Structures are given as structure tokens and as C-alpha cells.
Amino acid sequence: MIRTRIAFRGDKYCFYAFLAILWFHCIRPEALFAQSDSLKKANELKEVKVQAIKLSRRQTSSTPLQILSGEDLQKLNSLSVADAVRFFSGVQLKDYGGIGGLKTINVRSMGTNHTAVFYDGVPITNAQNGQVDLGKFSLDNIEEIELYSGQKSEIFQSARGFASASSIYLNTRQPKFEKGEQDHLKLALKTGSFGLLDPSVLWQHKLNDRVFASLSTEYTQSNGRYKFRYTNGVYDTTAVRNNGDVERMRVEAGLNGILRDSSTWNAKIYFYNDQMGLPGPIIGNRFDYSQRSWSRNLFVQSSYEKKLTSAYRLKALAKYSNDYTRYLDPDYVNLDGLLNNRFHQHELYLSLANQYEINSWWTAVLSGDYQLNTLDANLNHFPYPTRNTFLLALATHLHFDRMDIQANLLGTFVDDKVKYFTAAGNKQEFTPTLMLSWQPFEQKEFRIRSFFKSIFRMPTFNDLYYTLIGRTSLKPEYTKQYDLGFTYAKLFENTLFRSFSLQTDAYFNRVKDKIIAVPGNNGFRWSMKNLNLVDIKGIDVNMQSGWSISQELQINMGLTYTYQQAQDVTPGTDYYKNQIPYIPLHSGSFMGGAQWRNYSFNYSYIYTSERYNQAANIPVNYIKPWYTHDIAFHYNTLIGKNKVRLTAEVNNLFNQYYDVVENFPMPGRSYRFTLSYQL
């Protein structure tokens, strides 16, 4: 154990040195390159202009905002949304390994259930377990990913947008046609390690000047087999991960329109289907598992936005979703035979937001949402719950020359009913939020921001009603968030150093009545309880820079760093002031890329320091730090007027063996190749 800790200290000091070097070079670019007088204003690249827009949006947000969009997403060594969000600061991704493994996000250590996920502005929810598997969302049709700590920094949104501690917005590619264009078609094929085969098609069609259609499909197949290293304390061995195969299909169709009165509307239908093996934990020399799962997700959603007068706007959202999940465990036999659970969820969601501009500096919004959730299962003694949720948000925005003030009050009204047994009953909560953004100097590059947010999350259906586990007397999980930070962003002309942005936030979160699972009188009977009081103190740093070495050579660098002290502060517990499970003290990432003519190269590095897999911070629960290096090469060319892109990726370049979740080994070195053809 002593050797392990010494090794960690070395890794930590190397990481600090790495941060210092990057910081120095990004702030003092003249140390790397002499300025060139040959660069002229007329030769500014379009990509630099796009960067200016993104920097401005990050800078003016009253809450911490991180964005990955457009070309930045294509450069990452990422197959799914889960792979991409690893590069955000303040984020821990819980990854059980492989392409099909469950991947959920934890922002600022508050838990997966405190992060809301929106798809084209409409929420994606899972009333059964509260977790949205980001590994199921491909990047093939994603144009932009936004991560807000707190909430989106605009008040004209659905009430659901105010109702979570953090939010991820997945924005799909919208049809854009130049004059004379009628169709866009993109064909792509990915292949590589683990038997990966991933073809996709994106078709966009202009029906007329006011209506546009799109169709996106993707098929993914992989055997999921990869080598990993295992030790039982006596000997080491290299084995192959089995039962990680996955087969999935996604079909997505949409319509976008602009009416004659300039109101906008869109409609989307989304279908996803998969079947996969579930590789279990490597414990007690067991390597083979036979559990399997099947899931089917279908939803239809639409939105409508109209400006009725010069002062009044409205936005309406509607969604219906139908989700089916099956879990088979041939190794577990009960009185009914093999464990073969089936769950069926239905959801109806309606939202209406109203915005009124009282005058040039004062805006108010009233939003109301209704959500209906039901859950069926093939289990004995199952209560068949139904949940009605009403959200009502009153928000205001005061905009002055150098200061923005936003405030909102959210009312949440939940009514649970069950067909059998006892329901959790009614719950009513009112939670406030206050946000401030201030420009202290005449120059617009520097802004200070701060927010306070009180929010809670309802127990899920599994928490309350799952057979032998659920507990209907559970309280909601309450959080209070405090944040203070600043942003700085600047563009430079006629210099090697073209752009620079920095955002830094210090925060404190308190989580009360935390919902946890605790074992009962045997290993098969667990129960849910409100237990811990958790204090989370942290610092997030996000820095981006762009360089123009010549008219043909462009360089971009990005650095993120997070320090988090997330401790159990429940009085009288054995784990008082211990770091909560799976939260590292230090984490960070670096991304660097160079573009020259038709070629580009990208490098990314992710670091996670030591953690503990249980509440007790003792040597037996210690998990070593890990880090990975990824590289990618891209080549772009034209065949006629059509765009062709070739990509070669190497992930985990130095073949490090590591676990994100203890006993669930991650893949070593792997390769992926992509060919895309765009007409």
C-alpha cells in the first residue's frame, strides 16, 4: 500500500507541473512564437469568427457554461455523448466499460439524478431510476452539447429548465440550405477495435422555403471483447472481457418550419432499440457472466414559439414517450424461475412558457409544466405507480448596462398514486434561485458572476416502490448551491495569439437527506434510506486559446481542472469528513489540435486522481489514479463538390489498465477509423 501512495504522489506532482506549463504558455504566447506582421485582417478564417460567438455566450452566462460544438465535437475521440462530456470540468462520468456499458454523469458531486438532460429543448427523463444513459446518444446527429451548472442562463424556458441542479442540452443538427440547395446527404462508416461496425446516414431535405425535413439513422454492432489486467493480490493475469456485446439501432426524423407570421415550429420522432450483454464485476476470479438486457425507447416531441406582440412571446412544448426494458439473469433463480424482469414506462409532458417585456430593462416569465409518468412490471407484489407532476415557475430578468440580475421561484407539486399497497402521497416544495452577472470595467472582456440555487430531487419509482427495496416514506433529496466566479474572453487581431478565454468558479454545495441504499439482513434485501449530509467544496477552471501561426496553420488548446472536496458531514457517523465514494480530489483534461491545409491532428489527455469505492477512506477501499492519452488524425478533401473526411483514432495510447468503477475494467489501447462522404 505504501508503494501505491508514493506512486500517486509522483503522478500528482507531474500533473501540477503539467498544469503550470500549460497555464504559462497559454497566458504568455510570446514565449512560444514571435509575432508575424505578414498576417492581414482580410485573411481571418471563418472558424475564428465562430469561436468569437461561442466565447461571447460563455462569457455572458450568469451560470457556469461549457460548450462543445461543431468542429470541436468532430475532433474528439468520442463515439457517444458520454465520451464527449468527459472533457468538461466538474464532471465525473460513471463508466462500466465497453461500448454498451452504462454511462451516467455526476456534476459537482451531487449525483446523477440531479442533472437534467434536454434533447432539442425537451427534457429526457426516467421516472423508474432517474438515470439517463448518455452512452445511448450518438454524436452522429449532435451539433452542440451545453453543460450548465445551476441552470440555463435565460428565463424564457420551460419550468423543467429551472428544476434541477445542473443541465445538459443536446442540440441536434438543424437543416441549413444555401441558395439553390435542395438536399444534403452525409454517409459515414466507423469501424475498429472490439469488432465495431457503425454505419450512419443523415439526410436533410428542403420541402419548400418554409419547411425542412431531416432523417438520421445509425446502426452499431460490437462484440465488446477486450483485454484487461487482473490481480487477486497473489498473481497477475491478462484476461478477455466477455459478455459485452451490443447491437443497437437509432432512427430519428424531424420537421422544422417557419409560418407566415414568423412563428417557428418543429416536430421530431425518435426510436432506439438495443440488446446487449452485461459484463459483471471481476470478483473472486469470476470472469464470465450471462446477464442480458433489452431496451426500446420511442418518443414524439414538438415545439412552437410565437411573438404575439412586441412585448409578449410564448413557447409551447409537448412530448409522449414509451420505454421498455427487459433484464434477464440466468444465474438467479427464484420461485417463478429465472429472473426475467420487464418494465414498461409511459410519459406525457406538456409545457407552456410566457414572456413579457415590461420595459427595455425588465422582463418577466411565467412557465407551467405538467408531467404524467406510469410504470408497469411483471413482478409479483408490484404497486404499479402513477405520478402526476406540476411545475410552476415565476422568473424575472433585470438587464442594466453592466449588470444582469435574474431570479425565479419554482413551485413543485407531486402526487403519487399506486394500484396496490401504499403510495408516497403528495409533496409540495417552493425553491428559489438568484443569479448575478456584473461587468466591473468598461471593457467587456471581464465579467464576475454568482448564483444561489435551492433545489431538490424526488425519489424515483425504484427508490419508493421496487419490490423488497423501495420505501415510501423517503424524503426528497435537498441541495443548496453557492457559486462565485469570473469569465474573461478576448480576441486578438494581427497577432499569433488569436483568442483566449478563461472561466473560473469556486462553489459550495450542501446535500441534505441524501438517498442511499443500505443492506438488510441478507445480501438480497436492501432498503432505501435518507441518511447523509454532504458538503461539497470545489474549484473549476476552464481555459481555451487559439493560435494562428500562418494563414494555413492553426493551433487550438483547451485545459480544464477541477478540485473537489466532497465529504460526508453527517454528525456522529463513522465516516465523518471522509471523501464520498468515487469522487476524486483532483481531475482535469487537456485538448490540443493543429490544422494545416487539409490535415488536422488532435491530442487529448484526461486525469483522475485517487478515490475510494466505499464511504470509509481506508486502504482496502483505495482506487489508484488513472489517466489516458488519445490521438486522432483527420484528412479532408473534395471529390467534385462533395466533402470527404478520413479519420484515424488511437484511444488509450499507452495501453493503461484502469477502472472507473471498481472491478469493472476499462479497455486498453484501441483503434477506430471513420470515413464520411457528404453530398
- Read off the C-alpha cell for 43: 485573411
Q: SS3 of 602, please?
A: strand
Alpha helices in 61-110 (DSSP H): 71-75, 81-85
Split at pLDDT 50, 70, 90, the class of 502 is very high
300-349 pLDDT per residue, tens: 999 999 999 999 999 999 999 999 999 998 887 776 678 899 999 999 99
Q: Could you tell me which residue, 466 or 291, shows the higher pLDDT? A: 291
pLDDT at 56: 62
Query: Phi, psi at residue 538, to the nearest 5°?
Result: -155, 170
Instruction: Give the H/E segment covering residue 460.
Output: none
CA distance linking residue 56 with residue 596, whole number of Å: 26
With a cut of 90, say whether residue 32 has pLDDT above it: no
| Mean pLDDT lowest among 8-12, 95-99, 648-652 | 8-12
* Residue pointed to by grid coordinates 412586441: 310
With a cut of 90, say whether residue 208 has pLDDT above it: yes
Q: Name the nearest CA neighbour of 600 among 558, 651, 552.
A: 552
CA distance linking residue 171 with residue 180, whole number of Å: 26
Q: Name the nearest CA neighbour of 169 among 195, 194, 187, 142.
A: 142
**Domain coordinates of the chain in residue numbers?**
2-176+187-678
With a cut of 60, say whether residue 24 has pLDDT above it: no
pLDDT at 574: 87
**CA 91 → CA 121, 210, 542, 657, distances in Å?**
21, 40, 12, 21
Q: Could you tell me which residue, 672 or 574, shows the higher pLDDT? A: 672
- Mean pLDDT on 559-588: 93
With a cut of 70, say whether residue 522 has pLDDT above it: no
- Mean pLDDT on 426-444: 95
224-241 pLDDT per residue, tens: 999 998 877 677 888 899
Instruction: Give the H/E segment covering residue 45.
Output: none
The per-residue DSSP string of 259-324 comes to -TTS-EEEEEEEEEEEEEE------TT------EEEEEEEEEEEEEEEE-SSSEEEEEEEEEEEEE
With a cut of 70, say whether residue 52 has pLDDT above it: no
Is the pTM higher than 0.75? Answer: yes
**CA 305 → CA 119, 212, 263, 312, 450, distances in Å?**
17, 17, 6, 11, 30
CA distance linking residue 124 with residue 160, whole number of Å: 10
* SS3 annotation, 187-238: EEEEEECCCEEEEEEEEEEECCCCEEEEEEEEEEEECCCCEEEEECCCCEEE
Which of 21-35, 460-474, 646-660: highest mean pLDDT? 646-660
Q: Could you tell me which residue, 349 or 575, shows the higher pLDDT? A: 349
pLDDT at 641: 87
Q: Of all residues in the chain, what percent are helix, strand and coil, respectively (each to 5)?
A: 10, 55, 30
- Mean pLDDT on 494-516: 92
With a cut of 50, say whether residue 15 has pLDDT above it: no
pLDDT at 74: 82
State the CB neighbour count (10 A cutoff) for residue 456: 22
pLDDT at 521: 46
pLDDT at 668: 92
With a cut of 50, say whether residue 16 has pLDDT above it: no
123-141 pLDDT per residue, tens: 999 999 888 888 888 888 8
* SS3 annotation, 626-640: EEEEEEEEEEEEEEC
173-183 pLDDT per residue, tens: 988 888 889 99
pLDDT at 37: 39
With a cut of 80, say whether residue 1 has pLDDT above it: no
With a cut of 90, say whether residue 55 has pLDDT above it: no
DSSP character for 550? Answer: S
Split at pLDDT 50, 70, 90, the class of 198 is very high
Q: Name the nearest CA neighbour of 214 among 265, 252, 186, 187.
A: 252
Q: Could you tell me which residue, 332 or 205, shows the higher pLDDT? A: 205
- Mean pLDDT on 183-201: 96
| Rg over CA atoms, the chain | 25
Are 540 and 507 contacting, i.e. CB atoms less than 8 angstroms apart?
yes
* Residue pointed to by grid coordinates 442480458: 292
Phi-psi region at 551: left, alpha or beta (left = phi > 0; alpha = psi -120 to 50): alpha
With a cut of 50, say whether residue 632 has pLDDT above it: yes
With a cut of 80, say whether residue 113 has pLDDT above it: yes
pLDDT at 29: 36
- Mean pLDDT on 503-522: 82
Are 633 and 647 contacting, i.e. CB atoms less than 8 angstroms apart?
yes
pLDDT at 336: 66
With a cut of 80, say whether residue 46 has pLDDT above it: no
pLDDT at 71: 79
Percent residues over pLDDT 90 in the chain:
66
Q: Could you tell me which residue, 336 or 607, shows the higher pLDDT? A: 607
β strands within 549-669, DSSP E: 553-568, 578-579, 586-596, 599-608, 611-612, 622-623, 626-639, 642-651, 659-661, 664-665
131 contact partners, CB below 8 Å, separation of at least 6: 102, 104, 112, 113
CATH class belonging to 2-176+187-678: mainly beta
AA identity, residue 242: N
